[in-house]
Amino acid sequence: MTKPIPTEPQRRAVLRHIRPSDLQAAAQLAVQGTYGVINLTEAVHQAVHRRLGLSGGATGEQTGGLTGQIYQAVRGVTRLAGWGTNAALGLLLPLMDDPTSYPEASPQREAVLAALNGVLGDRLQVLGNPLAQAMELRAGGVTLSLGPDALKTQLPGAGAHLVLLIHGLCMNDTQWRRSGHDHGEFLAEALGATPVYLRYNSGLHISVNGRALALLLEQLVAAWPVPPERITIVGHSMGGLVARSAVAVGQAAGLSWTQPLRELVFLGTPHHGAPLERAGHGADWLLASNPFTAPFARLGQLRSAGITDLRHGHVQHADWQGRDRFASGADHRLPLPLPEGVDCYAVAATLAGQRSRLAERLTGDGLVPLDSALGRHEDPSMRLALAPDHLCTVYRTGHLDLLSSPRVAAQLQAWLATPA
């Protein structure tokens, strides 16, 4: 019995969640995952051999003799299967895949892609995987074209006050809307500003995204329909670190967009890192300390460069270049003060219900401690010089709740309606 051919509405409904090109991307990830399992299995095998005093293999984690040849043969079969699948899909996809006919992607698809990029985004980019997220400036859920005529058509009401909103790790621009509230839309109405949202691969190094954003903003300002007189950047979580990195690059290079930059607002930004990533590094160290569990430490090392940057809050290339990001838990950052000539504000959240130094230190917002979000540090050279009236702590509020908190929205309006 023949199956009914899907109708066009049914086809478009499916394409909102899954694209034909996802097959090639998934096949590539499957091959890489298979390689990982083979390597892990062989490493465990070799660890047991060494522990039992048996003859060594080709290297510390590779077996020798017939066993090693078997592992190599399995790798060879996997490699051939990957090449064959990729070649076949490369021929078929152009016949069945027309990207111009795609309907708008579903929120579920975009959320999954954002999370995948946050966890594996650096690997996706190195592999050239189609699921790797490109950096884009967006408004109204649509990618902006940075030609003057195109941008004027897309943003006919663009004014001289531009508000840029930068999301956090494993998130995307559409997730600024939470519980029916969007800080970008709120500020647009309250300040008469034009909101623009950044979408980026949060699995890349923060400083890599910062440099790319600095260059992208130069294009945006050049194409903006009217001369921008005021730029405000609001960053949530990792987004605040990306903003600091971009401003540092822009000011050092003398980029024009840094001239009208007036305010930087940080919402739950881990300026000095997040304990969860430091705990992840500790787990790596514990696994690596035992010869039997050492091969499993590489599972923890699958996490992206963006995630490991959050261990201490890396915002500059010099913070991580030339170092194995899994080798040391020490803080190697170079001090980066807040930018001169820019009013900087920070909102921190805590799950605690009342003012208690112990409760605030232990809980924070569930992901970021208060001291980190407020720029406090024991080393004076690392402290961020935020004015007391530029700081706000909200209670009984979690990390994501910063996006929908009426208290936060009111504070943003109070700060930005009367610039310092």
Model confidence pLDDT, tens digit, residues 345-392: 999 999 887 666 655 555 688 889 999 999 999 999 999 999 999 999
- The answer on pLDDT for 297 being more than 50 is no
Confidence of residue 71 (pLDDT cuts 50, 70, 90): very low
* pLDDT of res. 296: 41
- The answer on pLDDT for 231 being more than 80 is yes
Q: Taking all residues of the chain, what is their mean pLDDT, rounded to a whole number?
A: 79
Confidence of residue 35 (pLDDT cuts 50, 70, 90): very low
Residue range 29-40: average pLDDT? 53
Closest listed residue to residue 200, CA positions, set 211, 189, 190, 192: 211
- The answer on pLDDT for 283 being more than 50 is no
Dist CA 239 CA 118 (whole Å): 12
Confidence of residue 228 (pLDDT cuts 50, 70, 90): very high
Residue range 10-18: average pLDDT? 52
Would you identify the CATH topology of the domain 136-273+333-417?
Rossmann fold (3.40.50)
The answer to whether the CB of 17 falls within 8 A of the CB of 106 is yes
The proportion of the chain whose per-residue pLDDT surpasses 70, expressed as a percent, equals: 66
Confidence of residue 290 (pLDDT cuts 50, 70, 90): very low
Residue range 313-330: average pLDDT? 86
Q: Which two tokens stand for residue 168?
A: 């956090």
- The answer on pLDDT for 293 being more than 50 is no
* pLDDT of res. 318: 94
Dist CA 346 CA 211 (whole Å): 22
166-192 pLDDT, tens digit each: 999 999 999 999 999 999 999 999 999
Q: Which residue has the higher pLDDT, 100 or 174?
A: 174
- The answer on pLDDT for 210 being more than 80 is yes
Q: In the sheet that 230-236 helps form, which strands lie side by side, from edge to edge?
A: 142-143, 136-139, 194-199, 161-166, 230-236, 261-267, 343-350, 391-395
Residue range 300-327: average pLDDT? 85
In three-state secondary structure terms, 293 is coil
Low-confidence winner among 196-205, 207-216, 262-271, 352-361 (lowest mean pLDDT): 352-361
Residue range 258-286: average pLDDT? 78
Give the helix/strand (H/E) hosting 138: strand 136-139
The answer to whether the CB of 307 falls within 8 A of the CB of 279 is no
* pLDDT of res. 294: 45
Q: Which residue has the higher pLDDT, 327 or 274?
A: 274
Dist CA 284 CA 293 (whole Å): 10
Confidence of residue 295 (pLDDT cuts 50, 70, 90): very low
Confidence of residue 328 (pLDDT cuts 50, 70, 90): confident
What are the DSSP calls for 196-260, one per residue?
EEEE--TTS-HHHHHHHHHHHHHHHHHH-SS---EEEEEEETHHHHHHHHHHHHHHHHT-GGGSS
Query: How remote is the C-alpha of 156 from its chain's centroid?
Result: 30
Burial class (CB in 10 A: 0-12, 13-18, 19+), 96: exposed
The proportion of the chain whose per-residue pLDDT surpasses 90, expressed as a percent, equals: 51
* pLDDT of res. 364: 83
Dist CA 43 CA 173 (whole Å): 41
- Cα distances (Å, whole numbers) of residue 371 to 102, 302, 393: 45, 28, 11
111-150 pLDDT, tens digit each: 888 988 998 889 889 888 888 899 999 999 899 999 888 9
Under 8 Å CB-to-CB from 325, ≥6 apart: which residues? 305, 308
Query: Domain limits of the chain?
Result: 8-103, 136-273+333-417
- The answer on pLDDT for 62 being more than 70 is no
Low-confidence winner among 15-24, 112-121, 232-241, 405-414 (lowest mean pLDDT): 15-24
- The answer on pLDDT for 420 being more than 80 is no
Under 8 Å CB-to-CB from 225, ≥6 apart: which residues? 148, 151, 152, 155, 156, 158
* pLDDT of res. 93: 46
- The answer on pLDDT for 100 being more than 90 is no
- The answer on pLDDT for 417 being more than 90 is yes
What are the DSSP calls for 70-131, one per residue?
HHHHHHHHHHHHHHHHHHHHHHHHHHH--GGGPPPPPHHHHHHHHHHHHHHHHHHHHHT-TT
* pLDDT of res. 323: 85
- The answer on pLDDT for 95 being more than 50 is no
* pLDDT of res. 56: 54
* pLDDT of res. 243: 98
